A and B are shown apart, each in its own frame.
Chain A
Amino acid sequence: MHIKKLKVRPRKEHAKAVCGVQLASMLGCWAASGDTHSVGPCQESAKALYECMRTAPLGGKQHGSTINYHLMRLGKILNK
């Protein structure tokens, strides 16, 4: 089988959200206790989220997928 141009349409990987764990735990605490102002039971989980947002590094730009470059490069060998 001869494929003239070896190329794929790669799926874009979404950037991971920073502090996702702390956010999810705080929202879960709100749902469980109804303490949306984070003054009662959810105070600690809210504080953990604030600390995380203050210290966590910003998510950098994701590099695009290079699969097509490699396929182009190696396709020449495969098609011989």
Chain B
Amino acid sequence: MFSSARHAALRTLPAARRRLATTAGAAGSSATEGEIYSVIDSIAGFNAASSLSSPPSAARHPASTQPAVINIPPAEDPLLHYLTSCLQSYGHRQKAARITARTLLHIHTLTRAPPLPILRKAIENIAPAVRCISNKHAGKTVVYPIALSEKQRTRIAIEWILKACDSRAGKDVEERLAKELVAIVEAMGKPGVKLDEVSAAYKKKEEVHKYAMMNRGNALRSA
């Protein structure tokens, strides 16, 4: 359902030619869309899949022009898979997948542009860079900021966006979510726009970043 164009193209080729070297190809074309794709895709076992797909040296024909290690692209965009997982409840995967698909459709309806880059951009805009941890040390509570990994940032961004989209008008989750994502992307970069008023997700990000900035003196401490 969410196969990349590359995967769809691969399926049309005869089976013998399907295993093309895609190390730079699919990974590259998708990676240019955003840093989050390339990392989530490695976390999702993309690299594991590629190492599993490399045939043993004995089985490879000496005259073969195919490279020894072949990267097979994932069947589904990892970010969409993750978004579906976040929307899912009580194991109802199909329902969540329908919501994701319709959200992309609504984004396209609102903007007449490809929806996936808009989704990525919205998540990149909302994702916080740091998280504040508080620790009791010597009788005082010490707050210090720590950097977040890509997956943590994406998870928090999606959580905030899903919470914030409930304040939008629209009968279904997909409509509200699409409106929220489009508003997030449109607001960033516009001069004279107060981001806190555009979305509650931006407001949360501001709060977290301001708190981290206030406690930047403790940044190099740990545990």
Interface residues in chain B, defined as those with a beta carbon under 8 Å from any beta carbon in chain A = 35, 39, 125, 129-130, 145-150, 188-189, 195, 205-206, 209-210, 212-213, 216, 219-223
Interface residues in chain A, defined as those with a beta carbon under 8 Å from any beta carbon in chain B = 14-20, 22-24, 26-28, 30-31, 36-39, 46, 49-50, 52-54
- Could you show 15 A-B contacts with beta carbons less than 8 Å apart? A14-B222, A16-B222, A17-B221, A19-B147, A20-B219, A23-B130, A23-B147, A24-B216, A27-B219, A30-B213, A31-B213, A37-B209, A49-B147, A53-B147, A54-B35
Q: Give the shortest distance, in Å, between A53 (CB) and chain B (any CB).
A: 5
Q: Give the shortest distance, in Å, between A45 (CB) and chain B (any CB).
A: 10
Q: Give the shortest distance, in Å, between A33 (CB) and chain B (any CB).
A: 11
Question: B146, A17: Cβ atoms under 8 Å?
Answer: yes
Q: A28 to chain B: which residues have CB within 8 Å?
A: 216
Q: Give the shortest distance, in Å, between B222 (CB) and chain A (any CB).
A: 4
Contact of B220 among A20, A30, A37 (CB under 8 A): A20
Bound Cα distance A50, B219 (Å): 16
Bound Cα distance A12, B149 (Å): 26
Question: B147, A39: Cβ atoms under 8 Å?
Answer: no
Q: Give the shortest distance, in Å, between A58 (CB) and chain B (any CB).
A: 9
Bound Cα distance A55, B74 (Å): 22
Give the top 5 A-B pairs by smallest Cβ distance, nearest first: A27-B216, A36-B209, A17-B222, A30-B213, A20-B220
Q: A24 to chain B: which residues have CB within 8 Å?
A: 216, 219-220
Question: A39, B189: Cβ atoms under 8 Å?
Answer: yes
Q: A16-B222, A37-B205 are in contact. Are A27 and B213 (CB under 8 A)?
A: yes
